[in-house]
A and B are shown apart, each in its own frame.
Chain A
Amino acid sequence: DQQVKQNSPSLSVQEGRISILNCDYTNSMFDYFLWYKKYPAEGPTFLISISSIKDKNEDGRFTVFLNKSAKHLSLHIVPSQPGDSAVYFCAARGLDQTGANNLFFGTGTRLTVIP
């Protein structure tokens, strides 16, 4: 059962506008949330994270918001640039079935920024 869900498989945005990527989770024990970005033929690269004790973390054009009561987080990219076109994975850290801390990944959202 998918504990981290990204319900929008794709998103298209005009260059210069805001991109908002969403992620929902079911496990209230997750303590960190991360966003990864993936270009074709490359592995995912870490983008930004947020602790479960915070509601916002900002790094340049990227801001992640966390709403714990709704078990929802979002990644805002402002302004969006063509180079941001990639697949974005949401991930959450929590205990797996062996009791070890591991990452649980969403299915990804493909962002296309139109010049």
Chain B
Amino acid sequence: NAGVTQTPKFQVLKTGQSMTLQCAQDMNHNSMYWYRQDPGMGLRLIYYSASEGTTDKGEVPNGYNVSRLNKREFSLRLESAAPSQTSVYFCASSEAGKGQNLLAKNIQYFGAGTRLSVL
């Protein structure tokens, strides 16, 4: 039972480099999310996708792009990494699709995280 799988677990980049964080879920969930966690800031939503083919900005989208490749996969791309993007990144998924409000379907399940350092 893999749940939500993120790769890589760790990454070090130089300023200006690009990279893509991968996320896949095997729970047949409709919605997927990318968060970043910074000290003293909690988890902040970067982008989310309520269904295959749709993406929406969250609280802190600047400097990031996302792709919902299919129902299983949701990737996060940093085109030109900056030191301010040093963080721990979490991918999550939930069963709910757009407009589905039942709480049980909205509970989010998280991957183990990617620790990214930008020098």
Residues of chain A touching chain B, judged by Cβ–Cβ distance below 8 Å, are 2, 4, 6, 9, 32, 34, 36, 41-46, 49, 51, 89, 91, 93, 96-98, 100-103, 105-108
Q: Do A107 and B40 touch (CB < 8 A)?
A: yes
Q: Do A89 and B43 touch (CB < 8 A)?
A: yes
CB distance from A5 to the nearest CB of B (A): 9
Please give me the residue from chain B that is nearest to A45 by CB atom.
Answer: B110
Q: Which of B14-22, B56-64, B68-76 contacts A (4 or more CB under 8 A)?
A: B56-64
Which residues of B76-92 are within 8 A (CB) of A? 90, 92
Q: Do B107 and A46 touch (CB < 8 A)?
A: yes
Q: Do B103 and A44 touch (CB < 8 A)?
A: no
Q: Is B1 an interface residue (CB 8 A)?
A: no
Q: Do A98 and B57 touch (CB < 8 A)?
A: yes
